[in-house]
Amino acid sequence: MSSNQDVVKLLQKTSRLLSSGHLKAEPVWYRALLATPPTTQLRHVVARDPVTGQRVRATPGRPRLFKPRPIVYAEDALRTRFFTEHPWELSRPRVVVENTGADAALLDWSQMQQKHKPLDGESVVQRTLWLTANEQLTTDAAYTKARYEFYRLRMRQEIEDRVAEEEAAMFGAVFFPRQLDVGIKLEDAQLASWREQALEATRLLDSVRPDDPDTTDAAAGPQDWK
């Protein structure tokens, strides 16, 4: 409210400066603000029941403010369910660029495998929605059927990739280390370094144990001096 009043005061002061000639040119925002000045009063919203249309009595002491209704999509619940059960699918690279914003609706979800879309969790979501709408299945039954179709296609893809890799290696192809292999190698090197540091720290502790007479005398000297 105070910010709106400040804007109104600014508009009034600018008008006076223009009329008196102290301000030679209008600011770029002056006409737009003059056409739609900010309000200084809150609009009173009458709360009504969405079913009966009757006026709802507000709770004393607490103003009833308008709140937008939550937007719920069936796809959101299916995505949450799938990626909660299959978190490793989130690590697969995905292309998030779309041509129209509704590319999934242009595909034929009567089958899981698509020609222009890679197999991923979104395939399970859209296939579940298609089964629910066209085969009169419940959401759980449609999700289970789509999930098993996804498993079969994923296993087929992994077998095809393994066979293709073996065939390429047979003809002399050389593959660079995978990111997972590189990460494991770096982790093993770090663990080996920590092991050496722990052994060195253990040797230092063993070398200054109190049962060593020289160490005991050396340690007792400063204490006696204090």
Q: How confident is the model at residue 53 (pLDDT cuts 50, 70, 90)?
A: low
pTM of the model: 0.52
Residue 95 corresponds to which tokens in the numbers above? Answer: 């292309």
Can you tell me the mean pLDDT for 154-166? 93
Decide if pLDDT at 216 tops 60. no
Q: DSSP secondary-structure letter at 114?
A: -
Domain boundaries along the sequence of the chain = 2-35, 74-95+103-170, 176-203
pLDDT at residue 219, rounded to an integer: 46
* Residue 125 identity (one-letter amino acid): V
Strands of 7-163 (E only): list them: none
Report d(CA 60, CA 67) in Å as an integer. 18
More reliable by pLDDT, 104 or 68: 68
**With b meaning 16 or more CB within 10 Å and e meaning fewer, what string describes 189-220?**
eeeeeeeeeeeeeeeeeeeeeeeeeeeeeeee
- Mean pLDDT computed over every residue of the chain: 82
Query: What are the tokens at 186?
Result: 């770096």
Compare 221 and 208 and report the one with higher pLDDT. 208
Can you state the angle between helices 139-170 and 121-134, rounded to 10 degrees? 140
At residue 40, the pLDDT reads: 61
User: What does the pLDDT look like over 112-158, one tens digit per residue?
Assistant: 998 888 899 999 999 999 999 999 899 999 999 999 999 999 999 99
Cα–Cα distance measured from residue 89 to residue 85, given in angstroms and rounded to the nearest whole number: 9
**pLDDT above 80 for 54:** no
**SS3 of 115, please?**
coil
Are 16 and 23 in contact by the 8 Å Cβ rule? The answer is no
User: Under DSSP, is residue 55 helix (H, G, I), strand (E, B) or coil?
Assistant: strand
**Closest C-alpha among 35, 38, 42, 44 to residue 4:** 38
What the block records as the tokens of 212 is 């060593």
